[in-house]
């Protein structure tokens, strides 16, 4: 059996062809990747993650040429965005092609597609030749991994091949844009912002799931959560509790003694890149509660605000 340290692109591709699951670095987070066309391999992903069967996966493509093999009736808006933002942290929800497994879509008529930018992900996809179903490589509802050691800590020997791509550059999951209906709609915010999408398309883009929206990855109210209870507070309230027994603080823009918590960057991109690793570190310290400073209510912070709100909703819940 391969050890994590021995994993390489050829070993990863061989494992995928055997129907196994690998740890795959992307620019957003590390994925738990399997052959998207192999029902048994996809089932293994669900089992490892303890993921509900109706919670769809994102299919990762190796080239734009694969788009029409996995989606049908691809709208012009999708082609515009693919030309501008693929490879990159943008997932498009489109009408599914006949080949797509029900398990991948959660039984829906839509499929979520992305082309990752990380060079190791690209190398694996190029060598594999097919598409990969690759949700975040963590137990369902818990903190996403942004470093290879996070994946190893989650799954150990159950996922022996974890490619080491270093720390993820983006650090939160991709923006998910629904293009299966007339009005483009963001179902999960991320690094590709609403303003960027509107500038590319020249139309208004809606934000937030409506009643008819497809189910997508990361859309449940509680997600991305540490086991330690987590609360979001304005700075003044948070500062009053720095150093209190059993309290750890995650802030930005002010100094913190190391024993009291962690300080993250003041830019949205820098904060996002560091967020999940910081939450994992604080969660491992065994505090009574993690207090997180509220982040700015600005468009570029939408992805971070979304992840923190869902983390707070799910934090402390039993596995």
Those residues whose C-beta lies under 8 Å from the C-beta of residue 73, and which sit 6 or more positions away, are: 94, 95
Q: Assess contact for 69 and 84: CB atoms under 8 A.
A: no
Q: Assess contact for 146 and 48: CB atoms under 8 A.
A: no
pLDDT tens profile 106-159 = 999 999 999 999 999 999 999 999 999 999 999 998 999 999 999 999 999 999
User: Would you state the pLDDT for residue 255?
Assistant: 87
pLDDT tens profile 258-267 = 899 999 999 9
Coil, strand or helix: which one is 6? helix
Q: How far apart are CA 116 and CA 50, in angstroms?
A: 24
Q: How far apart are CA 145 and CA 152, in angstroms?
A: 10
pTM for the predicted model, two decimal places: 0.95
pLDDT tens profile 196-223 = 999 999 999 999 988 889 999 888 888 8
**CB neighbour burial string for 150-167, b if at least 16 within 10 angstroms, e if fewer:** bbbebbeeebbbbbbbee
Assess whether pLDDT exceeds 80 at residue 283: yes
Task: Tell me the binding residues.
Answer: 28, 51, 60, 110, 114, 134, 136, 144, 174, 188, 224
pLDDT tens profile 10-54 = 999 999 999 999 999 999 999 999 999 999 999 999 999 999 899
Task: Tell me the binding residues for L-threonine.
Answer: 28, 60, 114, 134, 174
Assess whether pLDDT exceeds 60 at residue 76: yes
Calculate the average pLDDT of the chain: 94
User: Would you state the pLDDT for residue 3?
Assistant: 44
* pLDDT class of 61 with cuts at 50, 70, 90: very high
Assess whether pLDDT exceeds 60 at residue 2: no
Please identify, in words, the CATH class of the domain defined by 4-207. Answer: alpha beta
Domain assignments of the chain as residue spans, ordered by start: 4-207, 230-314
Task: Tell me the binding residues for ATP.
Answer: 51, 110, 136, 144, 188, 224
């Amino acid at each position: 059996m391969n050890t994590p340290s021995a994993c390489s692109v050829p070993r990863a591709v061989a494992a995928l062809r055997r129907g196994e699951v690998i740890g795959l670095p992307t620019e957003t987070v590390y994925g738990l990747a399997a052959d998207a066309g192999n029902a048994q391999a996809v089932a293994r992903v669900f089992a490892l993650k303890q993921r509900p069967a109706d919670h769809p996966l994102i299919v990762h493509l190796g080239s734009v040429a694969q788009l029409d093999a996995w989606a049908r009736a691809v709208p012009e808006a999708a082609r515009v965005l693919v030309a501008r933002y693929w490879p990159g942290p943008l997932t498009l929800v489109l009408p599914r092609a006949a080949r797509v497994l029900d398990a991948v879509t959660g039984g829906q008529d839509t499929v979520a597609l992305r082309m990752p930018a990380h060079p190791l992900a690209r190398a694996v996809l190029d060598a594999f030749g097919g598409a990969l179903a690759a949700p975040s490589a963590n137990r369902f509802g818990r903190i996403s991994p942004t470093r290879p050691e996070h994946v190893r800590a989650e799954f150990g020997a159950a996922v022996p091949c974890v490619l080491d791509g270093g720390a993820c550059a983006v650090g939160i999951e991709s923006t998910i844009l629904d293009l299966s209906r007339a009005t483009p709609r963001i179902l999960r915010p991320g690094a590709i912002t609403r303003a960027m999408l509107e500038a590319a398309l020249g139309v208004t883009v809606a934000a937030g799931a409506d009643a008819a929206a497809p189910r997508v990855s990361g859309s449940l109210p509680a997600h991305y959560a540490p086991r330690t209870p987590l609360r979001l507070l304005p700075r003044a309230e948070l500062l009053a509790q720095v150093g209190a027994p059993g309290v750890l603080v995650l802030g930005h823009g002010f100094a913190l003694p190391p024993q009291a918590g962690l300080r993250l960057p003041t830019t949205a991109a820098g904060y996002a890149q560091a967020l999940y690793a910081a939450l994992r570190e604080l969660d491992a310290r065994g505090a009574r509660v993690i207090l997180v400073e509220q982040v700015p209510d600005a468009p570029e912070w939408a992805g971070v605000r979304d992840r923190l709100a869902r983390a707070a909703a799910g934090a402390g819940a039993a596995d």
